[in-house]
Chains A and B, each alone.
Chain A
Amino acid sequence: AQTVTQSQPEMSVQEAETVTLSCTYDTSESDYYLFWYKQPPSRQMILVIRQEAYKQQNATENRFSVNFQKAAKSFSLKISDSQLGDAAMYFCAYRSGDTLAGSYQLTFGKGTKLSVIP
């Protein structure tokens, strides 16, 4: 079974600075998808960024980028120019690429609570 580990329960960053959230995962598969989700306080969980394992290029979405190290099974999220609205719980998630298995399950880490200091 796949597992996802987020080793930082809480982190903080100064506004306008850069912060990196770590995520490692365990799998025997070669085809899979990785996600970072953001859950602001009392608000809906939304997708921040997605990475397909077969792509060597790291995904980027504006101020958000990932460092995907497939061999090391590491998938960290970098937030540049942090803003107050970035304060939230961040969840790393794994999804098998085996569509024939018929499973759409996402496996989530426990989350990292990010605080942004004005």
Chain B
Amino acid sequence: ETGVTQTPRHLVMGMTNKKSLKCEQHLGHNAMYWYKQSAKKPLELMFVYNFKEQTENNSVPSRFSPECPNSSHLFLHLHTLQPEDSALYLCASSQDPSGGYEQFFGPGTRLTVL
């Protein structure tokens, strides 16, 4: 596969469940991102990883826990979520600073919390 892939594409979970979102980039990039996209709101940056090190955490609740085992993989572990966490979760990657700052996005995981 090429580009940025995300699994699963759709996820329905209860508030007491624990699940994980997976992102993989096949572009050789050094930076990876998690965004939350809710209806009628701008994309919200959640986490940034650069060479496996977390460089940004935009005041995200602890029920979201990222993991970056290597430069190609990024996970978002979910536990005890709230209904308002239902959204499209997008993963992106980039080659910074040499890559012109373009971010390449995955197709997203549509999350529904019941």
The 4 closest A-B pairs by CB, nearest first: A45-B105, A108-B43, A99-B97, A108-B42
B102 near A50 with CB under 8 A, answer yes
Measured between beta carbons, the chain A residues less than 8 angstroms from B104 are 47
Instruction: State the B residues within 8 Å of A (CB).
Output: 3-4, 31, 33, 40-43, 45, 48, 50, 55-56, 90, 94, 96-97, 100-108
Measured between beta carbons, the chain B residues less than 8 angstroms from A106 are 43, 45, 103
* Closest B residue to A110 using CB positions: B42
B42 near A35 with CB under 8 A, answer no
Contact with B along A75-118 (1 / 0, CB 8 A): 00000000000000001000100010011111111110000000
Measured between beta carbons, the chain A residues less than 8 angstroms from B94 are 104
B45 near A110 with CB under 8 A, answer no
Q: For residue A78, give the distance in angstroms from its CB to the closest CB of chain B.
A: 20
A46 interfacial contact with B, CB 8 Å: yes
Measured between beta carbons, the chain B residues less than 8 angstroms from A33 are 100-101
A103 near B102 with CB under 8 A, answer no
A4 interfacial contact with B, CB 8 Å: yes
In whole angstroms, what is the CA distance A46 to B104 when docked?
Answer: 7
A44 interfacial contact with B, CB 8 Å: yes
In whole angstroms, what is the CA distance A109 to B42 when docked?
Answer: 5
B101 near A44 with CB under 8 A, answer no
A55 interfacial contact with B, CB 8 Å: no
B42 near A105 with CB under 8 A, answer no
* Closest B residue to A95 using CB positions: B101
Measured between beta carbons, the chain A residues less than 8 angstroms from B100 are 33, 50
* Closest B residue to A46 using CB positions: B105
* Closest B residue to A42 using CB positions: B107
Measured between beta carbons, the chain B residues less than 8 angstroms from A46 are 105
A104 near B43 with CB under 8 A, answer no
B55 near A103 with CB under 8 A, answer yes
